[in-house]
Copies of this chain bind each other. A is one copy, B any other.
Amino acid sequence: MRAAIYDGPGEISVEEVPRPEIEDPGDAIVRVTHTAVCGSDLWFYRGESDREAGSRVGHEPMGVVEAVGDDVDSVRPGDHVFAPFVVSCGYCEYCRRGLHTSCVNGDSWGGDNGGAQGEYVRSPHADGTLVRVPDRYADDEDVLESVLPLTDVMGTGHHAAVSAGVGAGDTCVVVGDGAVGLCGVLAARRLGASRIVAVGHHPDRLALAAEFGATETVLGGDGTDVVDRVRELTYGGAEHVLECVGAASAMEQAVEVCRPGGTVGYVGVPHGVDDAGVPIFDMFGDNIALRGGVAPVRAYADDLLEDVLGGTLDPSPIFTKTVSLEEIAAGYRAMDERDAIKVLVEP
């Protein structure tokens, strides 16, 4: 089968690799029909994080079940499914508590499981990991494109909103206009926020944020101005701030626009904060809480899927470019050069 391979910074190729097979009775083999390039893929692509050259990539699989092991109950061959960016068993303490990212039997895509940017993946713990898309939507391309972000960015934006404690009638600020930030806007609107101030660096993305439900947008550049403007708009800061970038500067901005006693929900993988530090002194003086982390998107998948299928939630506009698997290198380039918000890949 064909699969994307990371060859080193800036180098993605598509090569012939062995097709994964059932190895464990809990496994399922999924033929990938839709997947995506993630903002976090850019870290190794840019050489900012370590990844072994020759490794399989991609962690947002959606497709059709080809085969299942003897112990798999929840899906059968022919089912349309998607999977979160991590594998989880579904029955350990953490899965039962909705913290699937801490699953004690957890696993990841890539390696022997195959990367999601390839023709097939093997899903260990298929019962705990895979989410079925009802058959009636199996051929509805629009629906499938709206479902695909549930593998990662939509669940991650939702986690930011949940972690920040966004509820009906609330005022919140979303820091970041990438795919996760935009999904954070959708999530905040879905949770009933009355005012959503989106902060970003790209006019086109902020325009999409406004379509997604942001009531105000603030275009960045000089950090101080952004903080002042947001504080002005929120009469001194919002009680709920979604930090959807991960850079130390974004974390600092998030704390600065948070109202005393408020909560920053953070989901951006920390980036550079080891040098700059979390602004703990500001947090301490103002009793600003920090909640969040790597998003347990499996915990949110069923609820979010219901809304996508019901037509009240549609994150698909974040896909501003679609490529085939063979063209995936162009997809990485488009993301890297910020020509695309997020790239959909159709193997």
Contact = CB atoms under 8 A, between A and B. Distances in A.
Contacts of A94: 260-261
A286 interface: yes
A17 interface: no
A296 B287 CA distance: 9
Contacts of A274: 277, 280-281
A291 to B, nearest CB: 4
A287 B281 contact: no
Contact of A273 (B280, B288, B290, B294): B280
A5 B55 CA distance: 66
Contacts of A293: 283-288
A223 to B, nearest CB: 19
B296 A292 contact: no
A117 interface: no
A270 B280 contact: yes
A11 to B, nearest CB: 27
Interface string A77-104: 0000000000000000010010101100
A292 B287 contact: yes
Contact of A270 (B97, B284, B296): B284
Nearest to A296: B287
B289 A290 contact: yes
A168 interface: no
Interface in A97-134: 97, 99, 101-102
A334 interface: no
A233 interface: no
Interface of A: 94, 97, 99, 101-102, 163, 260-261, 266, 269-270, 273-274, 277-278, 280-281, 283-294, 296
